[in-house]
Structure 1
Amino acid sequence: MPETIGEKDSSLALSRLSVSSSRFNTQGQISWTDLATTVFQVTVGILARTSAAGVDPYTIVVGQKLMGYFQMTALGRRQISSALQSLPLYKGIGKILSFGFGVNHIVHVMGNTEEGQMLLLLCASLAECYHPDHAAEVLVEMVRTSRAPESLQPSVMQWRDLLNVSMGILSTTTFPERVEKLVALYPAQLSTQYGNEDYDGRRSGGERTRIMQRGCATPESLATILHAIGKITRGETKSITISGNPNAGWIAAFAEWHFQLSVQIIHARSKSTLYQSPMCKNDFNIVILYEDGIDQEDSALDIANITYRVADVTAAISTKSRDSNTMTVVGRLDWNGALGATFGSDFARLMNMGSAFGGAIGCFSRMLRALRMGEDIVAPGYFNHLNFYSLLAFESCGRAFIANVVGWFPELSDIRNYMEGELKYDTETSLARYMNYITTLKVACQCSLCRHGQRDEDNYCMVTLLETVVKLSQLLSLVDNPTHLKPSRLGLDMFYFQHGTSKLSERNSSGDGRFPRRKDLEPLESAMYVSTYRIYDTLRLFTGRYFPPIDRAGALCGNGLCAYYSAFNRSGGGHISDRITITVGAIESHERAYRGMSDDFVDHTFDILEVSKIPPTATFDDMDIIIRETANELKIRFEFRDPARKSAKVYRSGPDDSIRSFVRKTRFLHCVPSSSEHKSTISDAHIRVQRPGYTCYELGDVNISILHASVVQQWLLIDALETEFLFGEECLDCGLAAAVSIAHHPRRGSRGNNERHEVWILKHVDT
């Protein structure tokens, strides 16, 4: 009778492949002959589901057969079931977009069987900590060592596709933290290796990016050891010994977390115990010998006395792979201790200089507050060439910025008083004190970068570390992390060296012409986070991997995580914002997953006065979300037609384009009622146009439009107009004065004799 992959209990599920005595011999070997002659029936619904996920059904069948080597425990089943049940799904605006794992995602289908759960567990464990290309080769070797005929072996690409849909399942569990904890016990100092990777992860030939190098185990050795672990779970073997490099730490975490096997890790030379499983003092299932040095000359597997060697393949990968700097085993870090665990003794030195470290952060937050309030802290418009992030976020400056820094990195709470102590100073004093703190740290650091302006390959620079923390905090002030993801150690390391590389290149820049770069302000500029790839940076921080960039991306996925503009969240009402949400899962539309989403072509031919007439009750439910599928991504645009006027023009807007415009064009409106220069502003202005919700003032050579704007109006206006926008509910006097000040700002340049300046003040209307 044919076996069926079909529907069960009104849900689409891959039915269980029976593991009977006729299919396996007593040593647990797969009967590939029986599998080759088995007939399967499958519903079109299941084929559609696997096709949407980009997974080959045969690969799932082989994978589930392969999982017969392992015997799950009750706790292991509960853990994988809990992980699957907790996978999030966030509805996007327009009802056709979602982020995360949909209810009909293939992982939920596979999770209905024990073999499916075990397959997901193995794939997710490999993909969480290894580069997916390397993880796929491990699965290929597991099939090969099972003596499968070549014709029945899924390809590397087929396994890679299955790994892609399994990624992220374990990202919010304690498993990746356990891996990092055990891998970090390796006694040898971390060596470093430099690859020629540029910011986008492509070969550039000049820039060098330092990486953590823990060695990379050969797929053959990992596959053999995984088979050996399977024998222990089935009771065929009591214990094994593993010797080799830090990759053995991943094996220990896999065996302990998923199967509750007892583990002991020993330093091979000193015989000292580095770790042992709680509640077990002897008779360990797995004994790991950490050997000094990463390079392993003997790449063969020594099976005598049931001892396995984790062979190393680092040298081969380093010369052949574009992503060699991510071909290493890596886990996640708890936020409380992440900086110390990543940057080690150099970070400890920085913390020992708490007054300078904390004082510099406090001064910087004070200067961010000055910029947010529209102060020109150096010279009019000097910092505008930096095009730094929008400072509208509450956490972007001042005391709230400090709270945000300590919130993300609790280990900095010991120097919080030094940070907050700097907020009492005026802007000019804060700038001077910041420069003094930087000088103090440079003198104490004495690295090659501080002394000679050259990259130091052996140490982390204390000044660059400070700037990295400040830049990370600026980025994270814009990040929503609803699933409480923890950072990748490799991601933190990458962020530091990306900053170090850009810091060196910026020293050769002369500025933008109107505002030549000033050497005395270089330390201040260096700490400002000015990247236009913040979605890419967020994803890389949490994954520690490179991904192909997408131009004008509103969302990007990789390694089981998805970073996207929070404005897409339906629960947020589509409020325009440059905030970013990071979560596990992918972009989904019509139950199909995509790796990226970017703006479709948009023609900005808006009639501005017509836009101002859009009713304030208009919401994103009144907009059409137009999605076009391409080979690599989704193209998206918003279209709005006033429902009250059927013949009205259709307004089109691209999400990323609108948000970039929002960052570039908007400023915070600060009310200073005591300012004498604002007192006579209203008396000098006269009204040009007035209707409900909209007033246009004329003040000298400036037209100032004040609009009580809905979310839809904000998106369309900011996208279409090349002018500044002020946000706030402050008094009219201060609003008009601020608008005039902005209109006459040097960075706007001069106007013709008959040309008028235009500034808009937007006041939000809740719908």
Structure 2
Amino acid sequence: MPPQNEVFAQQGQIDWVNFAVSVPQYSIEFLARIQGAGAQPGTYAAVAQLATKFKLSKKGIERLEETISRLGVRSSFSDVLYFGFGHRSLFRIMSETIGGLKMIALCACLDEVHSPIATARILSALWKEYHISEDFEPSQQQFMDLVKVCSGSLSTSPFPEIVQKVLGPTSRGHVRCSEPEDLARALCALFEITTGTRKSIVITGSQGCSFIAAIAYWLFDLDIHVEGSEGETLFNSFAGGSVVESHSAQVYVKYGHNSPRTSTSLVLVESTYEVGEIRDLILSESPSNSRLRRRIPWEECLRFTWGGRL
């Protein structure tokens, strides 16, 4: 029997940004798990907020769950202590919900390719890209502490091999990190494809492109096409039994002539937006007060609308 003074049902809550939308609520036990990992509850809530910006594919969830199921656990002292990804560690608790899986996916995929400090900088750049108040932005050390919880969880998955595969046969070894701001912008565009806002993107650059291509394929199950600097095909996914070509790819990656794969440049050069019916484009509070949902450059407005030459 547990000691009489051990059990008490109490709830804690964190109002981390005061957005007046909702207040995340965690049990005292869960808060202890977070702090036991070296992170703060606000850091956990911050990464959870970033994870709401994208959707996992069905196949991506299956791949994550299969990988997590293979992670080893070692016990000691009559099953009192657990090593690795223990059965009730913070990592295991996160893996029990889709929201937690998304956090694991974001942190673990970044960590598998980049150094801890680079991963923290990319998460910080994502925070700024979404214009979330810096008053509530975790420090880079706090981002690193939470990423450490997920570190190594994808080492037994095909993800690291896919990253190398999309680099081509002449670019083995450590992938050099692109500028965090460039990666953050590319990730935001990729996330918008998963939520249906964008239809496709074209990215050109160097080694940093390999991470975008790999996560698009393995985690989000998107149609991708990767070309080398000479136009040679390095990687294709399959859709409907056919090889995905550049014109039909949701994510088209090109290694540029001026951006050899030994450098770190990465540029989002083109986007195609998903447009539904015309009534979805216009918000009409009244006939005299209508506004467009989507924004495009004014000088391109007529061409985008009617096409051809005017």
Aligned equivalent of 2:189, options 193, 217, 228: 228
Aligned equivalent of 2:252, options 281, 287, 291: 287
Per the alignment, residue 171 of structure 1 pairs with 155
Post-superposition offset of 1:14: 11
Post-superposition offset of 1:94: 6.2
State the number of aligned residues.
254
SS of 2:198's equivalent in the other structure is coil
Instruction: Measure, in 2, the Cα distance between the counterparts of 1:14 and 1:126.
Output: 30
Residues 396-475 of structure 1 mapped to structure 2, 5 A cutoff: none
8 Å Cα contact 1:263/1:276 also seen in 2 = yes
Post-superposition offset of 1:150: 1.2
SS of 2:219's equivalent in the other structure is helix
Post-superposition offset of 1:274: 1.9
Q: Does 2:117 align with 1:152?
A: no
- Aligned partner of 1:259: which letter? F
SS of 1:128's equivalent in the other structure is helix
Post-superposition offset of 1:281: 3.1
Instruction: Measure, in 2, the Cα distance between the counterparts of 1:176 and 1:14.
Output: 38
Post-superposition offset of 1:181: 1.8
Aligned equivalent of 1:54, options 38, 42, 46: 38
Instruction: Measure, in 2, the Cα distance between the counterparts of 1:240 and 1:251.
Output: 11
Post-superposition offset of 1:93: 5.6
Q: Does 2:262 align with 1:277?
A: no
Per the alignment, residue 288 of structure 2 pairs with none
Instruction: Measure, in 1, the Cα distance between the counterparts of 2:161 and 2:12.
Output: 31
Per the alignment, residue 226 of structure 2 pairs with 265
Per the alignment, residue 34 of structure 1 pairs with 19
SS of 1:71's equivalent in the other structure is coil
SS of 1:161's equivalent in the other structure is helix
Instruction: Measure, in 2, the Cα distance between the counterparts of 1:140 and 1:243.
Output: 23
Post-superposition offset of 1:61: 1.3
Q: Does 2:66 align with 1:106?
A: no
Instruction: Measure, in 2, the Cα distance between the counterparts of 1:251 and 1:14.
Output: 37
Post-superposition offset of 1:109: 1.4
Aligned equivalent of 2:61, options 77, 81, 85: 77
* Alignment gaps of 5+ in structure 2: 1-10, 273-310
Q: 1:227 to 1:14 in 2, by over 3 A?
A: farther
8 Å Cα contact 1:183/1:250 also seen in 2 = no
8 Å Cα contact 1:129/1:176 also seen in 2 = yes
Residues 370-385 of structure 1 mapped to structure 2, 5 A cutoff: none
Instruction: Measure, in 2, the Cα distance between the counterparts of 1:304 and 1:274.
Output: 20
Post-superposition offset of 1:122: 1.0
Q: 1:75 to 1:113 in 2, by over 3 A?
A: same
Post-superposition offset of 1:39: 3.9
SS of 1:239's equivalent in the other structure is strand
Instruction: Measure, in 2, the Cα distance between the counterparts of 1:255 and 1:281.
Output: 14
Aligned equivalent of 1:218, options 176, 179, 182: 179
Q: Does 2:271 align with 1:306?
A: yes
Q: 1:108 to 1:93 in 2, by over 3 A?
A: closer
Q: CA-to-partner distance for each residue in 1:585-635, whole Å, 9 max, x for gaps?
A: xxxxxxxxxxxxxxxxxxxxxxxxxxxxxxxxxxxxxxxxxxxxxxxxxxx
Post-superposition offset of 1:214: 4.8
Per the alignment, residue 256 of structure 1 pairs with 217
8 Å Cα contact 1:14/1:113 also seen in 2 = no
8 Å Cα contact 2:203/2:270 also seen in 1 = no
Instruction: Measure, in 2, the Cα distance between the counterparts of 1:106 and 1:151.
Output: 26
8 Å Cα contact 1:14/1:110 also seen in 2 = no
8 Å Cα contact 1:267/1:290 also seen in 2 = yes
Per the alignment, residue 126 of structure 2 pairs with 142
8 Å Cα contact 1:240/1:306 also seen in 2 = yes
Residues 685-696 of structure 1 mapped to structure 2, 5 A cutoff: none
Q: Which gives a bigger RCO, structure 1 or 2 (Cα 8 Å, sep 6+)?
A: 2
Post-superposition offset of 1:295: 6.5
Q: CA-to-partner distance for each residue in 1:282-336, whole Å, 9 max, x for gaps?
A: 3011111112425669x6x7555339xxxxxxxxxxxxxxxxxxxxxxxxxxxxx
Structure of higher CA gyration radius: 1
- Aligned partner of 2:235: which letter? Y
TM-score, normalised to structure 2, is 0.73
Q: 1:173 to 1:306 in 2, by over 3 A?
A: same
Q: CA-to-partner distance for each residue in 1:537-591, whole Å, 9 max, x for gaps?
A: xxxxxxxxxxxxxxxxxxxxxxxxxxxxxxxxxxxxxxxxxxxxxxxxxxxxxxx
Post-superposition offset of 1:42: 3.3
8 Å Cα contact 1:132/1:163 also seen in 2 = yes
Per the alignment, residue 107 of structure 2 pairs with 123
Instruction: Measure, in 1, the Cα distance between the counterparts of 2:127 and 2:175.
Output: 26
- Aligned partner of 2:107: which letter? C
SS of 1:288's equivalent in the other structure is strand
8 Å Cα contact 1:137/1:219 also seen in 2 = yes
Post-superposition offset of 1:244: 0.9
Post-superposition offset of 1:266: 1.1
SS of 2:138's equivalent in the other structure is coil
Q: 1:184 to 1:147 in 2, by over 3 A?
A: same
- Aligned partner of 2:255: which letter? Y
SS of 1:274's equivalent in the other structure is strand
8 Å Cα contact 1:90/1:98 also seen in 2 = yes
Q: CA-to-partner distance for each residue in 1:493-534, whole Å, 9 max, x for gaps?
A: xxxxxxxxxxxxxxxxxxxxxxxxxxxxxxxxxxxxxxxxxx
8 Å Cα contact 2:43/2:143 also seen in 1 = yes
- Aligned partner of 1:34: which letter? F
Post-superposition offset of 1:215: 3.3
Q: 1:33 to 1:58 in 2, by over 3 A?
A: closer
Per the alignment, residue 578 of structure 1 pairs with none
Q: Does 2:121 align with 1:161?
A: no
Q: Does 2:230 align with 1:245?
A: no
Q: 1:111 to 1:265 in 2, by over 3 A?
A: same
Q: CA-to-partner distance for each residue in 1:703-737, whole Å, 9 max, x for gaps?
A: xxxxxxxxxxxxxxxxxxxxxxxxxxxxxxxxxxx
Post-superposition offset of 1:87: 2.1
Instruction: Measure, in 1, the Cα distance between the counterparts of 2:42 and 2:125.
Output: 17
8 Å Cα contact 2:203/2:268 also seen in 1 = no
Q: 1:295 to 1:73 in 2, by over 3 A?
A: closer
